[in-house]
């Protein structure tokens, strides 16, 4: 451990403090393009979507692109600080704190369920994925669509084996150190976050799962896989994919 990286810091839970700078950190992400892509995937799967939920909505940036469209939409996330940031962006939207492994909605509530930006990679083992898919199946209506993306082993090996970046915006900033252990398929992102005179440390652990495991869990939970798409395209994913969008239908 580098002394300078870890000294004089308060250790906080994932997203407790990152939530406060998350939108600045993600300013390079074009959520409008991502939302448009998701809507085109609804059309691609030929599903009429009226109601949707983003199960890891974070600060709500993707969901803002559903305002003034024909959808009724909800957001949930396990992190209260992330949901608190999201609340600033909406007037009447229902946003709740909820774990994807125990979702606080009734059966058959939605036409579409979203889980985006590597959120599935926060599951630590197959059993947790199984619980998550089981819950998604419960809250989706029959024939409804479940769309989630995952990062692949290739992406982590190529970009995050030993990665460091730093950004500062006057009063706040962060230093990120990422490490990928390809033996156990774990990517660890350590953040040193500065807010005013305080410094915090958050460690985010993401696991990369083989496509075989994901497909097995989807099958076990009564999903038909309509498509597995490379990145933000309509091409089938393959060995050279770094991000895969999975489009699944509840049987
Ligand atoms: C990389 S962020 C993506 C946030 C948002 N989807 C976006 O595109 O900006 C991952 C999100 O997953 C959420 N998350 C992690 N584990 C979760 C769980 N078990 N249940 C619900 N949300 C979870 C985190 O709190 C965080 O907001």
Is 2 part of any domain? no
Q: Do residue 102 and residue 214 come from a single domain? A: yes
| Centre of ligand 1 from the C-alpha of residue 77, in Å | 6
The rounded distance, in Å, linking the Cα atoms of 137 and 219 is 11
Helical H segments across 45-144, by residue range = 80-87, 126-139
Is 244 part of any domain? yes
58 lines ligand 1 (CB under 6 A): yes
117 lines ligand 1 (CB under 6 A): yes
For helices 126-139 and 211-220, give the axis angle rounded to 10 degrees: 40
Helical H segments across 177-228, by residue range = 211-220
| Centre of ligand 1 from the C-alpha of residue 27, in Å | 17
Instruction: Flag whether pLDDT at 28 surpasses 90.
Output: yes
Q: Do residue 118 and residue 236 come from a single domain? A: yes
Atom of ligand 1 nearest to the CA of 99: 20
Please, how many CA atoms are within 13 Å of residue 69, restricted to the half-sphere of its CB?
16
Instruction: Flag whether pLDDT at 2 surpasses 80.
Output: no
Closest Cα to atom 27 of ligand 1: 58
pLDDT value for 92? 80
Q: Please state the length of the chain.
A: 251
pLDDT value for 7? 61
Is 39 part of any domain? yes
34 lines ligand 1 (CB under 6 A): no
Residues 97 and 76: beta-carbon distance below 8 Å: yes
What b/e readout covers 35-46, taking b as 16+ CB neighbours within 10 angstroms?
A: bebbbebbeebe
Residue 83, domain extent: 28-151+210-250
Closest Cα to atom 4 of ligand 1: 58
In tens, the pLDDT along 163-202 reads: 999 999 999 999 999 999 999 999 999 999 999 999 999 9
Quick one: which of 148, 129, 127 has its CA closest to 52? 148
The rounded distance, in Å, linking the Cα atoms of 202 and 172 is 15
The rounded distance, in Å, linking the Cα atoms of 78 and 108 is 21
pLDDT value for 9? 86
- The rounded percent of the chain whose pLDDT value lies above 70 is 97
Q: How many domains does the chain have?
A: 2
Q: Do residue 223 and residue 142 come from a single domain? A: yes
Residues 171 and 140: beta-carbon distance below 8 Å: no
pLDDT value for 4? 55
Q: Do residue 93 and residue 191 come from a single domain? A: no
121 lines ligand 1 (CB under 6 A): no
Q: Do residue 120 and residue 186 come from a single domain? A: no
Q: Do residue 47 and residue 66 come from a single domain? A: yes
Instruction: Spell out the residues 6+ positions from residue 10 whose beta carbon is closer than 8 angstroms to its own.
Output: 198, 199, 200, 201
Q: Do residue 44 and residue 119 come from a single domain? A: yes
pLDDT value for 6? 57
Q: Do residue 81 and residue 54 come from a single domain? A: yes
| Centre of ligand 1 from the C-alpha of residue 117, in Å | 8
Strand partners, 94: 74
Residues 45 and 249: beta-carbon distance below 8 Å: yes
Instruction: Flag whether pLDDT at 60 surpasses 80.
Output: yes
Is 1 part of any domain? no
Q: What are the backbone angles phi and psi of residue 43, rounded to the nearest 5°?
A: -65, -45
Atom of ligand 1 nearest to the CA of 58: 27
Instruction: Flag whether pLDDT at 31 surpasses 90.
Output: yes
Q: Do residue 215 and residue 99 come from a single domain? A: yes
Residue 166: CATH number of its domain: 2.20.25
Instruction: Flag whether pLDDT at 8 surpasses 90.
Output: no
| Centre of ligand 1 from the C-alpha of residue 122, in Å | 8
Residue 240: CATH number of its domain: 3.40.50.150
Is 169 part of any domain? yes
Q: What does pLDDT average to over the chain?
A: 95
Q: Do residue 69 and residue 89 come from a single domain? A: yes
In tens, the pLDDT along 112-125 reads: 999 999 999 999 99
116 lines ligand 1 (CB under 6 A): yes
Atom of ligand 1 nearest to the CA of 19: 27
Helix (H, G, I), strand (E, B) or coil at 249: strand
In tens, the pLDDT along 69-83 reads: 999 999 999 999 999
Q: Give the pair of three-digit tokens for residue 90.
A: 């909406």
CA triple 238-115-138, angle to 5 deg: 110
Is 4 part of any domain? no
- Count the neighbouring beta carbons within 10 Å of the beta carbon of residue 146: 25
Q: Do residue 203 and residue 215 come from a single domain? A: no
Q: Do residue 195 and residue 119 come from a single domain? A: no
Instruction: Flag whether pLDDT at 32 surpasses 70.
Output: yes
Is 3 part of any domain? no
């Amino acid at each position: 451990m580098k002394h300078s990286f870890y000294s004089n810091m308060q250790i906080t839970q994932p997203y407790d403090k990152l939530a406060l700078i998350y939108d600045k950190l993600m300013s390079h992400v074009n959520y409008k393009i991502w939302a448009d892509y998701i809507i085109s995937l609804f059309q691609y799967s030929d599903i009429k979507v009226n109601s949707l939920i983003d199960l890891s909505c974070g600060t709500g940036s993707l969901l803002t692109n559903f305002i003034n469209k024909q959808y009724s939409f909800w957001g949930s996330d396990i992190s209260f600080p992330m949901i608190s940031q999201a609340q600033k962006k909406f007037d009447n939207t229902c946003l709740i704190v909820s774990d994807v492994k125990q979702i606080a909605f009734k059966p058959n509530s939605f036409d579409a369920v979203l889980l985006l930006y590597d959120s599935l990679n926060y599951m630590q083992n197959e059993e947790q994925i199984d619980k998550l898919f089981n819950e998604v199946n419960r809250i989706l209506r029959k024939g409804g669509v479940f769309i989630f993306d995952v990062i692949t082993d290739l992406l982590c090996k190529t970009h995050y084996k030993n990665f460091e970046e730093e950004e500062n915006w006057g009063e706040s900033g962060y230093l990120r150190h990422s490490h990928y252990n390809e033996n156990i398929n774990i990517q660890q992102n350590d953040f040193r976050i500065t807010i005013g005179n305080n410094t915090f440390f958050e460690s985010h652990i993401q696991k990369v799962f083989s496509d075989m495991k994901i497909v097995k869990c989807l099958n076990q939970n009564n999903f038909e896989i309509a498509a597995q798409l490379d990145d933000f395209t309509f091409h089938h994913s393959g060995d050279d994919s770094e991000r895969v969008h999975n489009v699944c239908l509840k049987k």
